[in-house]
Structure 1
Amino acid sequence: MHEMYVACIGNFDGVHLGHRAIMKTTVDVSESLKMQSTAISIVYPWGYYFPNFPGIIYPVAQRLELILATGIERVITANMADIRYLEPEKYISGLVKQGVKAFVVGKDFTFGSGAKGNVDLLERLSKEMDFGVVVVHDTLHNERRVSSSWIRESLVKGDIGLANTLLGKKYSIRGKVYKDKQLGSKIGFPTANISRGDEKLVTPKSGVYIVKSQINSRDYFGLLNIGFRPTINTSEEVKYEIYFFDYSGSLYDRNLELELLEFIRPELKFESLDDLIEQIRHDVKVSKRWLEIHSDML
C-alpha cells in the first residue's frame, strides 16, 4: 500500500513567486488532508530545449533545495526523456497508482505526449480515478504572469532587480573557485574565478555586478565581473571573477554562492591596465555608495 500524498508537477526552474504559490497551496492541502506534500520536478535533457534556449536559472540540485525550503516534504525528479511519450491518461494513472490523491497545478498546466493533457482533462480524469484537483491562479507582476522565461529574459538583459522581484529572493550563482592567472592580485584587486559546472545555465548580461556572499558565517560584499575579459586577453568562454572588498585569504577550491544585488555597468575594453585599474576603483566607490543607500534591504 503506497503512502497517499498531494503533488504539484512542473519544471519549477527558478522556484519563482508563481511556483511558490503552487507549493504553498500543495502544503496547505496536504496538511488539511493529513497527507505528505510532494513536488514532482520535471528535468529536461539538453537536447529537449530549442536551439537558442539561454539556459536554466539554477542547477537542478539548487532547484531541489529551493523547493524543499518552501515547506514541501518530498521532491521527486522525473526525466522528460522518460515520460514525454506517455499518453496523458497513462501518465496520470501511473501517479495515482503510486499514491497521489490530489494534484495542485497552475491553470496552464499541460502533461503527457505532445502536451495534449490540460487542466480540463485532468479534472475529467479526477472523476474517473477518484483524486482531487486544485487549480492555482497565475501570479502577476505589473499585470504580466510571472514565468521562468521572463526571469531568464531579465537576467540576459542585466535587469537583476526585476529578476530578484520575480524570484521572490536574490538570484544567486554557485560555483567552485579555481586557480587562474592571478592578474587581479598583481594590480591590487585580488579576485577569485568561479566555475559553475557543466549544466546549461543562463548567463546574465556581461558586466559588473554588486554581490553578497557568506564565507565562514560572515557576509562579504564585492564586485562580480561576468564576461570575456577583453582588456587582458579575450576568453572564448564566459568567466565569473569575484573581488571581495574586505576579505583576505585564499578561496581556492571553496564553493561559493554569490547573490547578485545590482548591475552597475556593462563589460568594457580599456586601452591599458592603468585605465582598467582606475575603472575598478570607480566601480568600488559606486558599489559601496549603493550598499550604504540600500543597507536596509541587504
Structure 2
Amino acid sequence: TAIREKIVEGKMQEVNDMLNHPYTIIGKVEEGKKLGRQIGLPTANIIPEKTKLLPPKGVYKTVVNVEGKRFASITNIGVNPTVESGNQIKVETHILDYKEYIYNEIVQVEFYEFVRPERTFPNLEELKTQIEKDIEYCKKI
C-alpha cells in the first residue's frame, strides 16, 4: 500500500528505494502518428496494460532496456494535450542518442525521477523547445 501511494504521488526515487529496484513499465512499441519524428524527437509509444498502476501524468527521467541494452531516455505519461483531443493514457519515450526503429519490440522503461507535469503548449515548436530543456535537465541529474 505504501509503495502504491508513492507511485500515485510520482515519488519515483522513494518507490525505487522501497522496491529495491526501479519501477518499470513493460510493453510493446506501437506505431504512432510520428509527430515526434517530425520535430526531430522520435518516441517509442507504449500502451500499458489497463491494470498497470501509472505514476501521475508528466515527464520523467527514465532508462529504456531494448534487446538487452540500456539507454538514457525521457518519458511522458499522459494524453498528449498539445496534439491529441482524446483521453487515452500513453507512455511515450524518447531514447537519447538512439536512431533504430523498434516497432513491435518489447521494451522496459525504468522510472527514476519526476521532471514536470504534463501540460498543453500553443504549438509544436514550443513543445519541442520544452522537451529539449527537459532532456538537458535529465542529462544533468
Decide: shared fold, TM above 0.5: yes
1:203 match: 54
Contact conserved, 2:82 with 2:122, CA < 8 A, in 1?
yes
1:182 pairs with 2:38: no
2:109 equivalent among 258, 261, 268:
258
- TM-score w.r.t. the length of structure 1 is 0.46
| Fraction of identical pairs, as percent | 35
Size of the aligned set, in residue pairs, is 141
How far is the alpha carbon of 1:178 from its aligned partner?
Answer: 0.7
1:92 match: none
Q: CA–CA distance in 2 between the matches of 1:257 and 1:153?
A: 22
1:224 pairs with 2:81: no
The C-alpha deviation readout for 1:60-103, integer Å capped at 9, x for no partner, is: xxxxxxxxxxxxxxxxxxxxxxxxxxxxxxxxxxxxxxxxxxxx
Q: CA–CA distance in 1 between the matches of 2:28 and 2:66?
A: 13
1:287 match: 138
Structure 1 unmatched runs, 5+: 1-148, 291-298
Q: Name the amino acid aligned to 1:191.
A: T
* Greater share of helix: 1
How far is the alpha carbon of 1:255 from its aligned partner?
Answer: 0.3
Contact conserved, 2:48 with 2:90, CA < 8 A, in 1?
no
Greater RCO (Cα-Cα under 8 Å, separation 6 or more): 2
1:275 match: 126
* 1:121-140 mapped onto 2 (5 Å cutoff): none
Q: CA–CA distance in 2 between the matches of 1:257 and 1:212?
A: 8
Task: Name the larger-Rg structure.
Answer: 1
Structure 2 unmatched runs, 5+: none
Q: Name the amino acid aligned to 2:103.
A: Y
* Greater share of strand: 2
How far is the alpha carbon of 1:151 from its aligned partner?
Answer: 1.1
Q: Name the amino acid aligned to 1:174.
A: I
